[in-house]
Amino acid sequence: MARLPEGISRFGDRIILAVCVVLSLWAASLDEPSRVAVGTRLAHGLLTPVERSVDFLDDLSTLKAENEELRRRVVALRLDFQQVENERRHLDELRRRAGFYEKNRGRLAPARVLELISPRIPIQAKIQCLSGDSLRVLQPVLTEKGLVGRISQVLSGDTALVELLTNDDARISVESVASGVTGILRFDGRSFFMDYVPQGDPVSVGDAVITSGLGGTVPRGIPVGIISRVQPSEVELFQHIEVQPAVHFSALSQVYVITRDGPWYSRRSDMILPDEGAVTGEGRP
Partner 1 sequence: MSSIRLGLAAFLALVLQLAFVDHLSVLGVRPDMTVLIVVMLGLRRGPVAGTLIGFFLGLFQDLLAPATLGMNMLAKSVLGYLSGRLGQNLALSGLALYAPLFAIAVLVHDLLYLMVYTRLDLYRVLRIFLVESLPTAVYTAVVGVVILAVAIVLGGGVFASRREAGGGL
State which of residues 6, 7, 10, 17 lies at the interface with partner 1 (CB under 8 A): 17
Is residue 30 a contact point for partner 1 (CB under 8 A)?
yes
Range in contact with partner 1 (rule: CB under 8 A) among 26-34, 81-89, 236-244, 254-262: 26-34
State which of residues 10, 39, 81, 121 lies at the interface with partner 1 (CB under 8 A): 39
Is 279 within 8 Å of 98 (Cβ atoms)? no
Q: Which is nearer to partner 1, 32 or 234 (CB)?
A: 32
Is residue 61 a contact point for partner 1 (CB under 8 A)?
no
Shortest spacing between CB 51 and partner 1, in angstroms: 13
Is residue 28 a contact point for partner 1 (CB under 8 A)?
yes
Range in contact with partner 1 (rule: CB under 8 A) among 27-35, 65-73, 127-135, 268-276: 27-35
Is residue 38 a contact point for partner 1 (CB under 8 A)?
yes
Is residue 24 a contact point for partner 1 (CB under 8 A)?
yes
State which of residues 10, 35, 89, 145 lies at the interface with partner 1 (CB under 8 A): 35
State which of residues 5, 6, 32, 169 lies at the interface with partner 1 (CB under 8 A): 32
Range in contact with partner 1 (rule: CB under 8 A) among 14-22, 125-133, 252-260, 265-273: 14-22
Q: What is the dihedral of CA 97, 99, 105, 108, to 10 degrees?
A: 110
Give the interface with partner 1 as residue ranges (CB under 8 A). Answer: 1, 4, 12-13, 16-17, 20-21, 23-30, 32, 35-40, 42-43, 46-47
